[in-house]
Every structure is written in C-alpha cells, then in structure tokens.
Structure 1
Amino acid sequence: MIFHSIRFQLKESVTPEQLDPVLKQLHKMGTEIPVIQTYCVGRDIGGDFDYGATFVVKNIDDYKTYMHSPIHRKVDEIGLPLVVDMVSFDVTDEEDPTIPDQIKAIHKERFESDPALAKLVQGLKSYSGSSRPE
C-alpha cells in the first residue's frame, strides 16, 4: 500500500466560497478515482497548515493512475492558486527499495508533460516533499 498525503496552508484572502469547491473536488478524488482504496480530507490539526488529505492506493501502478487522473488535475487547477505553502509525503509498506525512485519519476513525468501544472506549483511560496518538482 502507498499512502499519499498532502498538507497545505491557504492564502489569508481565501474565502469559504473559494475553498468549498476545492474540498469537494478532493472528496471527488477519493470517491471517483477507482484505484483509491480509502481517503481522508479535513482540517490539519496541530501544525502550520490549514487542511490535509491522504489517499491510499495498492501499488505503484495505481499510484501512477491516481497521479495522472483528470480529477486530480482539476484539484491542482482550482486548489493550488489558493495555497501559499504545501508539503506532500508518501508512506509505504512495500519492500521494493525502488519505490521512492519510481514515485519521483512519476512526479517528474507529470510536471514535464504539463507545463501549466509546473507553473502552478512554482507559484507557491514553499512546496516540499515527495511530489515536489526538481
């Protein structure tokens, strides 16, 4: 299993009306991307972030499917402009030592094939973690 998590801090100017479609789209990812086994979207507790989400997939092939889903891309399109800081990370129980490199390659391919997405991420004040473009 691979648990992909994000935590993000919103810009101070973000209104509930702007945030609501983003949270709905995050929930849509969890319910409509077939490879998602389970997910959680909600307020981040005890940190410097406002919200977080975790999506669980069975294996690296499902991870790639999830990352390249149009539903996921829509979250990026409507959500990233509202975010100031973001962190992503992955946790896995897979024994394969190449999983980190495979995850890195999936994200590299994703950003290289979608310059508009790369530009959205570059607009963040900070972005760290496993899915950060190099």
Structure 2
Amino acid sequence: MIFHINRLTPKANLGDEQVEACLDLLREVGETCPAVKSYVVGPHPVEGFAYGAVFVIEDLDGYYEYLNHPAHLRLELEGIGLLARFEAFDLTDSDDPEIKAKIEQVQARHFAEHPEIAALVAQAASFTRPGGEG
C-alpha cells in the first residue's frame, strides 16, 4: 500500500469559498478515482500547513492511475495556483528496496506526460513532491 500524503496552505488572499472549493477538489479525487481505496481531507494540526489529505493506493499501477485520473488533473490545473505552500510525500509498507525510485519515476512520468502541469509546478511559490520541487 502507498499512503500519498499532501500538506497544503492556501494563499492568504483567498476567501473561505475559494479555500473550500480547493478542498472539494481534493475530496473529488478521493470520491471518483477507483485507485483510491480510502482517503481523508481536513485540517492539518501541525504548524506550517493549514490542511492535509491522505490517499491510500494499493500499488504503483494505482499510483499512476491516481496521478492521471481526470479529477486529479483538474485538481492540479485549478488548485496549484491557489496554494502558498504544498508538500507531497509517500509512506508505504512495501519491502521493495527500489520503491522510492519507482515512486519518483511515476511522478516524473506524470509531469513528462502533462507539461502544462509541470509548468504550473515550476511557477508555484513552494511545491515539493516525491522526486523533486517546483
């Protein structure tokens, strides 16, 4: 299993409705992507981030499916510009010594296949993902 963890802080100038719309985009991914086995979206109790989301995904094929699901693509296209700070990382129960590199390869493939998203990430104020930064 892969636990894909997102921590985020919206830009300070966003209104409550815009923040809730951003959180709804995260929830939509969890609700509509078949690769997501379970998820949670809510306040992040650790200093430095306002919200968090965790998506539980079975394997690397599911991870790729999650990243390229239409709801996730929409989240990236509409949500990245709303964030002051974003960090994603993964926890896994895999005993594969290459799992870190494999996750990073899936992420790199996703950005190579979606250069418009890679461009948004490159312009983001603070964006950290498995295998790289914005």
Matches of residues 62-77 of structure 1 in structure 2 within 5 Å? 62-77=62-77
Moved over 3 A (4+): 131-134
**1:26-41 correspondence to structure 2 within 5 Å:** 26-41=26-41
Between Structure 1 and Structure 2, how many residues are aligned?
A: 134
Offset of 1:109 from its aligned partner?
1.1
Identity of aligned residues (%): 31
Equivalent residue runs for 1:103-122 within 5 Å: 103-122=103-122
TM-score normalised per structure 2? 0.93
CA deviations over 1:49-79 (Å, ceiling 9, x no partner)? 1111000011111111111111101111111
SS of match in other structure, 1:37: strand
After superposition, give the CA deviation of every residue in 1:12-62 in whole Å (9 maximum; x if it has no partner).
101112122221121111111111111010111122011110000111111
User: Whole-Å Cα distance in 1 between the matches of residues 9 and 131 of structure 2?
Assistant: 16
Check the 8 A contact 1:89/1:131 in 2, yes or no. Answer: no
Q: Residues 15 and 76 from structure 1, CA distance in 2 versus in 1: closer, same or farther, beyond 3 angstroms?
A: same
CA RMSD of aligned residues (A): 1.5
Q: Which runs of 5+ in 1 are unaligned?
A: none
* C-alpha displacement of 1:130: 1.1
Shift of 1:111: 1.0
Q: TM-score, normalised by structure 1?
A: 0.93
Aligned to 1:82: 82
> Which residue type is aligned with residue 120 of structure 2?
L
Cα distance in 2 for residues equivalent to 1:124 and 1:70:
21
Question: Which residue of 2 is the match for residue 132 of structure 1?
Answer: 132
Shift of 1:118: 0.9
Name which of structure 1's ranges 71-80 and 12-21 shifts more when overlaid on structure 2: 12-21
Could you tell me which residue of structure 1 aligns to residue 61 of structure 2?
61
Query: How far apart in 2 are the matches of 1:46 and 1:62?
Result: 28
